[in-house]
Amino acid sequence: MNIDHEYRTDISSGWTRKHILGLQDLTKDELNIILNQAAEFKRLAAIGETKLTPLAGTVVANLFFEPSTRTRISFGLAAKRLSADTVDFTASGSSLSKGESFVDTAKTIEAMGVSYVVVRHKTPGAPQLLAQHLNANILNAGDGTHEHPTQALLDIFTIREHFGKIEGLTVTLVGDILHSRVARSNIWGLKKLGAHVIVCGPTTLMPSELSRLDVEVSHNLDDVIDRTDCLNLLRIQFERQRGHFFPSIREYAHLFGMNKQRISKAKDDVLILAPGPINRGVEITPDVADGPHSVILGQVSNGLIIRMACLYLLHLQRTASLGIPG
């Protein structure tokens, strides 16, 4: 069954971008195209259309140079839902340990007939580097502490799904902003779509000159919680704790953890997001994580359709650039 033709012209019109490297580059219109395309895939899934065929005959390579479980599975499944063949690469035990360069590895895999490359890498800018050296369409699955566009898009999609809009909402990102690619992508996306963004965390985990991104900076969660429509709780990485960024996990949980007492100060319809995997009892207590405000598992489901939308739009650009009729 090929049902993509019926929604191609309206939802996806205006998409001309070859790569999705980050949300900094995307316009408001482009963000809305992705979100609307994802909504269409979600509608189709709801009526049982879970296996679509637009990418049949193409190959998506998932190149993960950094450990990942959730994102890798989500991308792999998204490609399969669109009927692409997939090849998976993980860095451990690979030729990289023999000294082959990152670009050479990617070029070699591309030469096996790959059209779309999903890349995760510890180095910021690694997807940009591939975009310079490969013919494939590149989709950033997280580059170091730079951007993680599909995670931010699924967060934004989830918020929009709940509130019916983004514009005018106040979204607070809580935690380790300094090392968070999720935070950076969220800030770009949410600001472009008209949200007020608060970043909240210890002073040591805030990058310098953050306020130049037109966000409100806070170091006291209790001061901002009652103004917040949506809290996005970033994961604390325990290895950072040894870096003296804050004195103890216990103190972090005391100052920035989301618990029953804090949520009682929040708006009645406050939405709790967490990019996961969550540290129960640190960023969030189990009762809140599993409580009525939390949409953590909904985010995971939405991640799949966001990634389908991104792959599909890159496919439309590719076929258009090759002059293949839709």
Partner 1 sequence: MKSILIKNGHIIDPSQNLDVQGNLLIEDGKIKGLCQATTTADEVIDATGLIVSPGLIDIHVSLCEPGFEEDETIESGTAAALAGGVTSLGCLPNTSPVVDDRSSAEFILLQAARAANCNVFPLGAATKNNEGKELAEIGQLVAGQAVGFTDADHPIENAEIMRCALEYTRMFDRPILNRPQVPELTDKGQMHEGFHSTVLGLKGIPAAAEEIMVNRDIALAELTQGRIHLMCISTQNSVSQIRRAKQAGIQVTADVTPHHLTLTDQMLETYDPNYKVLPPLRSQEHIDALIEGLKDGTIDAICSDHTPHASEKKTDEILGADFGIIGLETLLPVCIQSLIIPGHLSWSELISKLTRGPAKILGLSKGTLLPEADADLTLINPEIQYILEPAHLKSSSQNTPFLGKELQGRAEIVIVSGEVRYRAEN
* Contacting residues toward partner 1, per CB under 8 A: 24, 101-103, 121-126, 128-129, 143-147, 181, 184, 207-210, 212-213
Closest CB to partner 1 among residues 139, 266: 139
Partners of 63 in the beta sheet? 89, 119
Among candidate residues 148, 191, 196, 293, the one labeled active-site is 148
Closest CB to partner 1 among residues 8, 219: 219
Among candidate residues 70, 122, 260, 280, the one labeled active-site is 70
Q: Is 133 a catalytic residue?
A: no
Closest CB to partner 1 among residues 146, 160: 146
Residues 185/151, Cβ–Cβ less than 8 Å: yes
CA pair distance 170, 166, nearest whole angstrom:
9
**175 phi/psi in degrees, rounded to 5:** 125, -140
The residue type at 223: D
Q: What is the DSSP letter of 136?
A: S
CB of residue 227 to partner 1, shortest distance in Å: 24
CA pair distance 301, 154, nearest whole angstrom:
9
Collapsing DSSP to helix, strand or coil, 234 comes out as coil
The torsion defined by the Cα of 81, 42, 152 and 214, in degrees rounded to 10, comes to 150
Q: Is 242 a catalytic residue?
A: no
**CA distances from residue 2 to 5, 133, 226, 326 in whole angstroms, order as listed:** 7, 33, 48, 11
Collapsing DSSP to helix, strand or coil, 120 comes out as strand
Closest CB to partner 1 among residues 37, 180: 180
CA pair distance 7, 15, nearest whole angstrom:
13
Q: Is 148 a catalytic residue?
A: yes
Among candidate residues 5, 9, 98, 212, the one labeled active-site is 98
**233 phi/psi in degrees, rounded to 5:** -95, 110
CB of residue 318 to partner 1, shortest distance in Å: 24
Please enumerate in sequence order all residues whose Cβ is within 8 A of that of 145, keeping only pairs 6 or more positions apart, or say none.
124, 178, 179, 180, 181, 184
CA pair distance 162, 80, nearest whole angstrom:
27
CB of residue 203 to partner 1, shortest distance in Å: 14
Closest CB to partner 1 among residues 215, 258: 215
Among candidate residues 19, 58, 71, 160, the one labeled active-site is 71
CB of residue 124 to partner 1, shortest distance in Å: 4
- Residue 136 has a CB neighbour count (10 Å cut-off) of 25
Closest CB to partner 1 among residues 148, 307: 148
CB of residue 64 to partner 1, shortest distance in Å: 15
- On the question of a cis peptide bond just before residue 202, with omega within 30 degrees of 0, the verdict is no
Q: Is 70 a catalytic residue?
A: yes
Closest CB to partner 1 among residues 129, 249: 129
CB of residue 181 to partner 1, shortest distance in Å: 6
CB of residue 102 to partner 1, shortest distance in Å: 5
Supply the residues annotated as catalytic. Answer: 70-71, 98, 120, 148
